[in-house]
Amino acid sequence: MSILINLAVALAACAFLYRQQSRHASFTVRVFTALGLGIVLGAALQALFGADSPVVAGTNGYLDIIGTGYVKLLQMIIMPLIMVSIVAAILKLKDANSLGKISALTIGTLMATTLVAAAIGILMAKLFDLSAIGLTSSAAEVARGQYLQGTLASAKAISLPSMLISFIPSNPFLDMTGARKTSTIAVVVFSIFIGISATGIAGKKPELFASFEQFVKVAHAIVMRMVTLVLRLTPYGVFALMVQVVSSSSYADILKLISFVLASYSALLLMFGVHLGLIAGAGLNPLRYLKKIFPVLAFAFTSRTSAGSIPMSVQTQTQRLGTPEGIANFAASFGSTIGQNGCAGIYPAMLAVMIAPTVGVDPFTVAFIVPLLLIVMIGSVGVAGVGGGATFAALIVLSAMDLPVALAGLLISIEPLIDMGRTALNVSGSITAGTLTSRVLGETDLAVFNSDAEVNLDEVEAA
């Protein structure tokens, strides 16, 4: 009976969100409302029943249909969106040099910001005096530590050359299913080859090129319509995901490791500030920029999926920030697997500094910090080849620095809470890379960026 009552309340909240949509409330307002309703209901469920209650588990099981279902729908459209958008963009460019500049600027920005993020992680670890010495381990944390130790071999086997090779699609149709961890980048590479090949026949066989170009335009219009339909579900997905997170979080575990939580979020907020500083340095209004990207960050925060945020990220960059679609797709696609500021920058650097004292190493020496920064930057590429995101980024860094990886399991209880902020920062980094690349190349539509008119992402049709 309690579960039915909880679901009735959740249904009423969804009805309220639908009423907002029918009254044409802005997309930002609806996402913000969903976030607030999710926090309130999640906190109420935990206060009434407890985080480990069967009632909470049962309620979240049904809400998972909405939350995880929405994430899966976003994942469903990622590959088609990337493929048709990049091919369409190359057909418009008809210039390999422009493509090279876009790739170099985007990846360069992602790698550089990851290096800065790692430095900020080290600074916060110093300011908060973080250390793994003296931490006690529960049964779950011990089990997690043993798991990490067991997966160390696969992390050590990762190398930069093997990672770069994995980006090349030997079977592009397999990668279109997302079967490999580097499938997103592989599809980008395959799409680039299609676009370049098509432009190569533009002069020799103009009739065939015109037919293919028309086909791509039709496919692009259909895919963008699909994106629009899915994005209309964003407030409901955010609401369900936030209820699940808040209702099932252990406040006792959070308090036990509160220093690490505070240090992590201080580093994340400081890195967000760096992103805004870069935007301001490019001559754009950072406050307007922040307002426009907030819905994407809110979704990334609640869903904890960088890849799942790609469709909304692309739509936001093109419709709100004035970034060309080709650049937006490059930034969102590469940013979901390379140079993740939160998962591959701040987290492994902070963890390495925290664990180093347990083996008698002073983490605040040049001999330790310089190699750590370089390993983090290179390792941020390696994260794309394995599952687990931040966990494997930490494994790569800790193993390379010859530090005990099992101690990373001590943070299992607060991992979801920190991962929310890390994912939002990852997505912010990719959008920043796209915005800067567009601005440097002089491609940004300033009329779109500077417009204060509200654009609802879930109501925009493909041009």
Per-residue pLDDT of 251-287, as tens digits, reads 766 666 788 889 999 999 999 999 999 999 999 999 9
Which tokens is 428 given? Answer: 């912010």
Instruction: Say if CB 262 and CB 397 are below 8 A apart.
Output: no
Residues 6+ apart with CB under 8 A from 145: 137, 405, 406, 407, 408, 409, 410
Instruction: Say if CB 125 and CB 456 are below 8 A apart.
Output: no
Q: Is 41 exposed, middle or buried (0-12, 13-18, 19+ CB in 10 A)?
A: buried
Instruction: Say if CB 453 and CB 297 are below 8 A apart.
Output: no
Quick one: pLDDT at residue 287? Answer: 94
Nearest-angstrom CA–CA distance, 125 and 450: 38
Give the pLDDT band (50/70/90) at residue 157.
low
Instruction: Say if CB 430 and CB 99 are below 8 A apart.
Output: no
Is the pLDDT assigned to residue 163 strictly greater than 80? Answer: no
Give the pLDDT band (50/70/90) at residue 167.
confident
Give the pLDDT band (50/70/90) at residue 463.
very low
- Over range 73-101, report the average pLDDT: 79
- Over range 337-362, report the average pLDDT: 87
Which domain CATH number covers 75? 1.10.3860.10
- Over range 390-397, report the average pLDDT: 76
Quick one: pLDDT at residue 391? Answer: 72
Instruction: Say if CB 304 and CB 220 are below 8 A apart.
Output: no
Quick one: pLDDT at residue 458? Answer: 61
Quick one: pLDDT at residue 158? Answer: 58
Per-residue pLDDT of 417-457, as tens digits, reads 888 899 899 999 999 999 999 999 999 999 999 987 666 66
Nearest-angstrom CA–CA distance, 85 and 101: 18
Residues 6+ apart with CB under 8 A from 36: none
Nearest-angstrom CA–CA distance, 27 and 238: 12
Domain membership of residue 286 as a residue range: 2-459
Per-residue pLDDT of 12-57, as tens digits, reads 999 999 999 888 888 878 888 998 999 899 989 988 888 788 988 9
Provide the number of structural domains found in the chain: 1
- Over range 320-332, report the average pLDDT: 89
Nearest-angstrom CA–CA distance, 64 and 116: 36
Amino acid identity, position 22: S
Q: Which residue has the higher pLDDT, 239 or 249?
A: 239
Q: Is 396 exposed, middle or buried (0-12, 13-18, 19+ CB in 10 A)?
A: buried
Give the pLDDT band (50/70/90) at residue 100.
confident
Quick one: pLDDT at residue 385? Answer: 39
Quick one: pLDDT at residue 72? Answer: 87
Give the pLDDT band (50/70/90) at residue 340.
confident
Measured CA angle at 85 (ends 79, 91), to 5 deg:
135
- Over range 246-250, report the average pLDDT: 80
DSSP structure string for 316-375: HHHHTS---HHHHHHHHHHHTTS--IIIIIIHHHHHHHHHGGGGT--TTSHHHHHHHHHH
Q: What global pTM score does this model have?
A: 0.77
Residues 6+ apart with CB under 8 A from 337: 181, 182, 184, 185, 306, 307, 383, 384
Q: Which residue has the higher pLDDT, 331 or 179?
A: 331
Quick one: pLDDT at residue 454? Answer: 64
Average pLDDT across the chain, whole number: 83
Quick one: pLDDT at residue 110? Answer: 92
Quick one: pLDDT at residue 459? Answer: 60
Quick one: pLDDT at residue 308? Answer: 80
Which residue in 107, 130, 108 sits closest to 347, CA to CA? 130
Query: Within a 10 A sphere around the Cβ of 415, how many other Cβ atoms?
Result: 18
Per-residue pLDDT of 215-239, as tens digits, reads 988 998 898 888 888 888 889 988 9
Per-residue pLDDT of 85-96, as tens digits, reads 888 878 876 565
Handedness of CA 154, 159, 164, 168 (dihedral sign): negative
Instruction: Say if CB 414 and CB 257 are below 8 A apart.
Output: yes
Residue listed under structure tokens 């997170």: 245
Quick one: pLDDT at residue 120? Answer: 96
